[in-house]
Amino acid sequence: MIKDLFIRKTLSELEEQADGNHNALKRHLNAMNLVLLGIGCVIGAGIFVLTGTAAANHAGPAIALSFVISATGCMLAGLCYAEFSSMIPVAGSAYTYGYATMGEFIAWIIGWDLILEYLFGSATVAVGWSGYVVSFLNDFGIHLPASICQSPFIFDATGWHASGAIINFPAVFIVGIMTTLLIIGIKESAKFNNIIVLVKVTVILLFIGFGISHIQIENWQPFIPENTGISGQFGWSGILTGAAVVFFAYIGFDAVSTASQEAINPKRDMPIGILVSLAVCTILYIAVSLVLTGIVNYKDLNVSAPIAVAIDTAGQSLFWLRPIIKIGAIAGLSSVVLVLLMGQSRIFFTMASDGLLWKSFAKTHSKFKTPHVTTIVTGLFAAFFAGLFPIGLLGELVSIGTLLAFVIVCIGIIILRKSEPDVPRGFRTPWVPLVPILGAMVCLAQMASLPADTWLRLIGWMLVGFLIYFFYGRKHSHARLARKNQK
């Protein structure tokens, strides 16, 4: 019985599944599409939302160092992802990689963890989108009632409180629009994303370029605020906690790997998409965080639209940039919601194709050839969480889920080098096992710095997943049933 939990799918079985499945997804994405897909997902909540909240609550101006730490862990994990994606061109990301290296039960843990990552990720970004839309409309004298554009709940150090609001309607609205676009098709979604990426990168460069002259050096002093006596509240522990919180911002390259089955030449293009998008975004994140905390004192950045606050603080000389920045943020966060919802639906689709989730989740639309059932289910749940819960709580859940997935991927590379040394690789992770070991260690260190409540929620989420696996997934696993028939 224990042995059955670790049944592995061979690489040939995975490729056969990708190419021979009658529900196969269409291959429309080239290397540039994948790079822009990664940038489309990475440049979003991290810059437009979490930079401010993480600086205000954890790291102060040293949030720039938090981004460096996160980027280091991401680059190490990204090198491992690049090797996997060049070997296994199948939708499913780390879930599929885990199935090939460590067996079904570990794959289930990763898959269920990725659901946490993408589901709460899309909800988090939708809440940030709502904040910028409300701020943008306010500039034109249109004031939405707080009761329909804020979370009904507030979560802080003292616990849960009612905010008096009913629902965050703009957050629900954007989830609905992006869900509809994903049902229509991946090619159409990619075109939309490409345009949005060009818009928001231009806007970010404008903010950096014109914002530099408004930096007040005193806002950087002290660059690393003194620790309050509580771990994670400023000082070096705050920098590490800030790194763990903003780690969520980098999951775009993970989302790229979920699109392997829709890439035209995945063995060559997937590593390009993952590593190039990660490098570009890291540079932009560090630059924006320095300019943001230079314009506004970090204590005033605990808001859902920090760059909007920075533009307002700069005064009349940057007044012209205010609507441009907000339009860029609104457009940019839209593409992040799109990519995260796409990643979630592809994880569901792949797990269902393996028999671990219900058959209906493995269906594709007869006309659009998209996993419409899983896309609709994902959209409904994301809209629910975006409409009801605050951004800080959602962001922490995403970070711990992402970090856990990265740890398992790093370990998986070491295992696969031993178990499948001769399989052709379009890309090879350098300095194995040093790179994957360092990647796992950096990610584990950031996980350890997250609040205890976040760990408890992760454990609760995993317990629910174990129940589904042992009462449904294990009994219907295609790999397990195939092995039984062979006997």
Structural tokens at position 465: 């997943």
pLDDT tens string, the chain, 487 residues long: the values are 566 777 887 777 776 665 555 445 566 677 888 888 788 777 776 677 778 888 998 999 999 999 998 888 888 988 898 888 777 766 667 788 888 888 899 889 888 888 887 888 888 889 888 988 888 888 788 888 888 888 887 766 566 677 778 899 999 999 999 998 888 866 666 777 788 888 888 988 999 999 999 999 999 999 999 998 888 889 999 998 888 777 767 766 677 777 777 778 877 887 888 888 888 888 998 999 999 999 999 999 887 678 878 888 888 888 888 888 888 888 888 888 888 888 788 888 888 888 898 888 878 777 766 778 888 898 999 999 889 877 666 666 677 777 888 888 899 899 889 888 888 888 899 999 999 999 999 888 878 877 788 888 889 999 999 999 999 999 899 888 877 776 6
Question: Residue 100: what pLDDT?
Answer: 80
Question: Residue 437: what pLDDT?
Answer: 95
Look up the CATH number of the domain holding residue 454: 1.20.1740.10
Those residues with Cβ within 8 angstroms of residue 352's Cβ, 6 or more apart along the chain or in another chain: 358, 359, 360, 361, 362, 374
Q: Which amino acid is at 346?
A: R
Question: Residue 239: what pLDDT?
Answer: 92
Question: Residue 98: what pLDDT?
Answer: 82
Structural domain count of the chain: 1
Q: Which residues span the domain enclosing 388?
A: 3-486
CA dihedral 9, 13, 14, 18 (to 10 degrees): -150
Question: Residue 87: what pLDDT?
Answer: 78
Q: Which amino acid is at 398?
A: V
CA dihedral 70, 55, 459, 230 (to 10 degrees): 110
Question: Residue 344: what pLDDT?
Answer: 82
Contacts 24+ apart (CB under 8 A), 308-311: 308/131, 308/132, 308/135, 308/136, 309/52, 310/207, 310/211, 311/207
